[in-house]
Amino acid sequence: MKKAFDQNVSRARPRLRLDAFAEALEAAVVEEVDKLAAHGVTGVEIERAVALIVTDLLSDLQSASERADLLSKYASYFADPGLLNVQSDLYRAVTVDDVTAFARSRLGADNRASLVYVPAEEVAEGAPADAVAGGSPA
């Protein structure tokens, strides 16, 4: 059976207030990722995350258009639209050990990229792009 926990790609997508600096947000995300890699996760955290993910999936399946979109995605990405029928079971099968092992093997400082998207109107209002984005590379 395929695992729901993709061990090749993970992402964080925090949102930044316009008056905050990107480097402060990036530092906070890095700190949390480092904690995750160092200490792993708890069973309670896994239960909560799985409950939220499965609830979101089941909510999406209530709409015919969302269901069609998901079937299309599973057909395109996994060549198996039927995988959608067992996806919630796959999420429920994720364990503390799975997530902790993933975090320790894949979330190290040597395996990261950081992108900052700056709205065009913010740059157009006179702020240089590097000042708005924090001016430091990831």
**Residues 121 and 98 occupy one common structural domain:** no
pLDDT at residue number 136: 47
**Residues 44 and 82 occupy one common structural domain:** yes
pTM of the model: 0.65
Confidence of residue 120 (pLDDT cuts 50, 70, 90): confident
**Residues 43 and 97 occupy one common structural domain:** yes
In a domain, 81, yes or no: yes
Residue 116 is part of which domain span? 111-138
For 11-60, how does the pLDDT look when each residue is reduced to its tens digit (9 = 90+)?
566 665 655 677 888 888 899 999 999 999 999 999 999 999 999 999 99
**Residues 76 and 132 occupy one common structural domain:** no
**Residues 49 and 102 occupy one common structural domain:** yes
Question: What is the three-state SS of the chain?
Answer: CCCCCCCCCCCCCCCCCCCCCHHHHHHHHHHHHHHHHHHCCCHHHHHHHHHHHHHHHHHHCCCHHHHHHHHHHHHHHHCCHHHHHHHHHHHHCCCHHHHHHHHHHHCCHHHCCCCCCCCHHHHHCCCCHHHHCCCCCC
How many domains is the chain partitioned into structurally?
A: 2
CA-to-CA dists, residue 130 to 79, 119, 135, angstroms: 42, 12, 4
pLDDT at residue number 11: 56
Q: Is the pLDDT of residue 97 over 60?
A: yes
**Residues 49 and 100 occupy one common structural domain:** yes
Q: Is the dihedral of CA 64, 69, 75, 77 positive or negative?
A: negative
| Cβ atoms of residues 90 and 80 within 8 Å | no
pLDDT at residue number 26: 84
What's the CA gap between 101 and 107, in Å, rounded?
10
CA atoms within 13 A on the CB side of 51: 6
pLDDT at residue number 7: 43
**Residues 116 and 100 occupy one common structural domain:** no
**Residues 100 and 46 occupy one common structural domain:** yes
**Residues 45 and 99 occupy one common structural domain:** yes
In a domain, 14, yes or no: no
Q: Is the pLDDT of residue 76 over 90?
A: yes
**Residues 50 and 66 occupy one common structural domain:** yes
**More confident position, 9 or 87:** 87
**Residues 90 and 73 occupy one common structural domain:** yes
**Residues 53 and 94 occupy one common structural domain:** yes
